[in-house]
Copies of this chain bind each other. A is one copy, B any other.
Amino acid sequence: MTTTLKEFLESCHTLKTLRLIVTSSAAVLEARGRVEKLFYATLPKGRYANMHTEGFEFHLNMDAIKQVKFETGEAKRGNFTTYAIRFLDGKNEPALSLFLQWGKPGEYEPGQVEAWMDLKEKYGEVWQPLPLEDGEIGG
């Protein structure tokens, strides 16, 4: 499956409530929300997908993401599986991670894990987004 990151991000609303995680050299910020109502902007650094909600804002330089990886893991606390999507930069480091968000540990919303599985099936465990074309985000 080859597609752009923009198209992929627009299918992420099916994942319902997520934990969005961005990590710098010394800090980690994690916000709870859905990926939906994205809007786009072309900035000198690249073409961005953006989201504004009451509680958080999110900006992703789509041109800087070279790989997307589906990853399951073991929760640090509690005996359950985590489901993540990692957006990797040119150094193969996660610039953004999306984790399916549970209520209580191990309790996902109905259909949430299935939507993650469907996306993984469609795109593959690791895939490279197609570059955006000029004018694709209209800005």
Check if A27 is an interface residue, CB within 8 A of chain B.
yes
- Complex CA gap A139/B21 in Å reads 25
B26 touches A89 (CB 8 A): yes
Check if A29 is an interface residue, CB within 8 A of chain B.
yes
- Tell me the A21-63 residues at the B interface (CB within 8 Å): 21-33, 46, 54-61
A29 touches B58 (CB 8 A): yes
A24 touches B23 (CB 8 A): yes
Classify the interface of chain A: helix, strand, loop or mixed: strand
Residue on B nearest A46 in the bound complex, by CB = B26
Residue on B nearest A30 in the bound complex, by CB = B57
A27 touches B60 (CB 8 A): yes
**Chain A residues in contact with chain B, CB under 8 A?**
20-33, 46, 54-61, 64-65, 87, 89-91, 93-96
